[in-house]
Every structure is written in C-alpha cells, then in structure tokens.
Amino acid sequence: MTDSTIAHASAQVIAARAKPAAIKAFFDDATNTVSYVVHDPATKRAAIIDSVLDFDPAAGRTGFASADKIVAFVKEHDLGIDWLLETHAHADHLSAAPYLQEKLGGKIAIGEHIVTVQNSFGKLFNAGSDFQRDGSDFDHLWKDGDRFQIGEIEVTVLHVPGHTPADNAYVIGDAVFVGDTMFMPDYGTARADFPGGDARQLFQSLRRILKLPPETRLFMCHDYLPEGRDNYIWETTVADERAHNVHAHDGVTEDEFVAMREARDIALAMPRLIMPSIQVNMRAGHMPAPEENGIRYLKIPVNAV
C-alpha cells in the first residue's frame, strides 16, 4: 500500500534542502528533554517545539529559567512565533507552551488523538466537568497528513502512535522532529508502556519515519546518555538510524522489536514527574483551576497506575 503522506513528505524533504529551516536546540538537564525553535530565515516566522516548564515537585513550584532562554533567543533573532507545537502529552516534564504563548504569541497545537489521552487521564485524575475532553484546551489539533507553512517552509504532520496514542512527528522542510519514537541510534527507542502505549504501533510508526529519504535530518525529543557516551546529542539522519539504531535498525522484525520493548519496559521506573506532567499537559500546559482558597492543586492517585 502506498503511503501518500510519506510520499508527499519525501518530496518536501528533497525540495527543502536548498532552503533549509534554521534550527536551535535547548537541552533541559533536569528531564533530558530537547526543545527546539525552528524558523524560516527568509521570513523570520517560527515554531517552538516541546518547551519545558521547570518544576520542583517537592516544593510544588514552577520556574521559568528554561522557557526564558527560548524567549531571549526569539527576541534576539526578532522571530515571529506562529506555533507552539507539542509532539505529545509528555509524561516526564511540564509544557511551557501557555507561558511562551503569553510572552510570544502563537497557537498551541497537538495531534487530534489527544482526546483519547484526555479521556483516560481525565478518569484517572477524576477531573471535574471544567476539564473538557474534546481537545479544546489546545488552539489546534492536527490530523495525519495535514500540511501547513512556517513562513515559506512546508510542514507535513505525521501521526506516529505507540509511545502514546497521540504522538506526532513534524516534518519541517528537510528536518523531522520525531518526538518520542526513536532516540539516538546508540540509545534506541521510546518506551511503549504508558496508558494507551503499544510496542507494535511504535514499531510501525518508527519504520514509517524511516521511509523518508536517507539524508533526512532527524531531531530527537530526548537524549538519555547510553553507556559509553558522555556528551548529549540529538541530531541524526534516517540513514544513520536505519543502519545503527540498537533497537530498530533495518532487519529487526516487528516481533523481535515488540519482545525487546516489552521486556525492557517492565524494568523501567515511572518518570519522576509523571503525575504533575500528565495532569498539566492533558490541559495543554495549564494548571487545574484553583480551589475556593485560590490555590491550584496537583493530585497523586494512590496505587492506581
């Protein structure tokens, strides 16, 4: 079966090489997350991908040092923010999208299957009727194959479920922001054991991304240092992943991948910030409404996950 979205994205990647997007990465040491500012040098229109709100869970306190680095970069380069893109509802850090939107503008967007995630986490946290589970906390929801532009740079949206039901990868010019599908070749792939996660779907999703042209630039959402490497890196190519990804190089079968992923996931601890992250990120990065005393609370479900 031909995948017309991948065919279109492949042509886009090849055409974009002459005029690539400018990409600036911001690495968050606390959560190993890479956020990006991507812009069109010709028009200075830009998108921010997977921003991080600092959070101290012991104190229940948010911080803006990470987000302010992005604000400073955007101002220094005089960029206009059109989009605040999330690859998925992150389980390991809080999104700074609402803070950045207030400072810089832009629309907050995620994949349409966020509605599935909102329903399951809405139930888990027993969220009240103020929590709409229809995606309306976000300004825009993408479908697989959607296309838009950042200035003159073409973008194609890929729905790549498996880590969660609502993961997107964004093909921006000749670069793909892969979200949590694969990581650098020497680390492997994302876990598939969160609610709604599925190792078989994850395999299909990452093989789909790897159908793009071999020179396609790939940008990771995380780097967890593998044994034997002590510098953080986040950029690779389709060719490199296909040749060297320790979990999913060419030749690994779906069944082999699923067996590896399931065995590995059983041994992984929950992310340190999973409870605050999913409660906030299912609301597009907004905190739950304040209680009668004016204070906002985050819950911890006991023995439920």
Ligand X SMILES: N[C@@H](CCC(=O)N[C@@H](CS)C(=O)NCC(=O)O)C(=O)O
Residue nearest to Fe ion (CB): 180
| Structure tokens given for 18 | 């002459």
Task: Report yes or no: 66 and 103 within 8 Å, Cβ to Cβ.
Answer: no
The single residue among 18, 58, 263, 268 that binds ligand X, judged by CB under 6 A, is: 268
268 binds, among ligand X, Fe ion, none (CB under 5 to 8 A by kind): ligand X
Torsion angles phi and psi, residue 204, rounded to 5: -60, -40
Q: Does 50 bind Fe ion (CB under 5 A)?
A: no
The single residue among 92, 137, 154, 174 that binds ligand X, judged by CB under 6 A, is: 92
End-to-end CA distance of the chain: 38
- The least CB distance from residue 233 to ligand X, in Å, is 16
Task: Report yes or no: 265 and 207 within 8 Å, Cβ to Cβ.
Answer: no
Q: Which of 139, 137, 138 is nearest to 127 (CA)?
A: 137
- The contact mask relative to ligand X for 26-65 (x = CB under 6 A, - = no) is -----x----------------------------------
Alpha helices in the chain (DSSP H): 4-16, 65-76, 97-104, 114-124, 199-209, 238-244, 254-266, 274-281
Of all helices (H) and strands (E), which one includes residue 107?
Answer: strand 107-111
Q: Does 180 bind Fe ion (CB under 5 A)?
A: yes
Residues touching ligand X, count (CB under 6 A): 12
| Structure tokens given for 232 | 């953080």
Q: Does 101 bind ligand X (CB under 6 A)?
A: no
DSSP letter string, 234-250:
-EEEHHHHHHH-TTT-T
Q: Does 191 bind ligand X (CB under 6 A)?
A: yes
From residue 160, how far is each of 26, 169, 215 by CA, in Å? 23, 6, 20
- The least CB distance from residue 19 to ligand X, in Å, is 32
- The full length of the chain comes to 305
Q: Name the segment binding ligand X (CB under 6 A); options: 74-82, 88-96, 137-145, 205-213.
A: 88-96
Residue 112 or 180 with smaller CB distance to Fe ion: 180
- The least CB distance from residue 163 to Fe ion, in Å, is 6
- The least CB distance from residue 136 to ligand X, in Å, is 25
- The least CB distance from residue 221 to ligand X, in Å, is 8
Task: Report yes or no: 211 and 186 within 8 Å, Cβ to Cβ.
Answer: no
The single residue among 224, 255, 256, 259 that binds ligand X, judged by CB under 6 A, is: 224
Q: How far is CA 166 from its chain centroid?
A: 10
Q: Does 28 bind Fe ion (CB under 5 A)?
A: no
- The least CB distance from residue 91 to Fe ion, in Å, is 5
- Which positions lie near ligand X, rule CB under 6 A? 31, 90-92, 180, 190-191, 222, 224, 268, 271-272
- Which positions lie near Fe ion, rule CB under 5 A? 90, 180
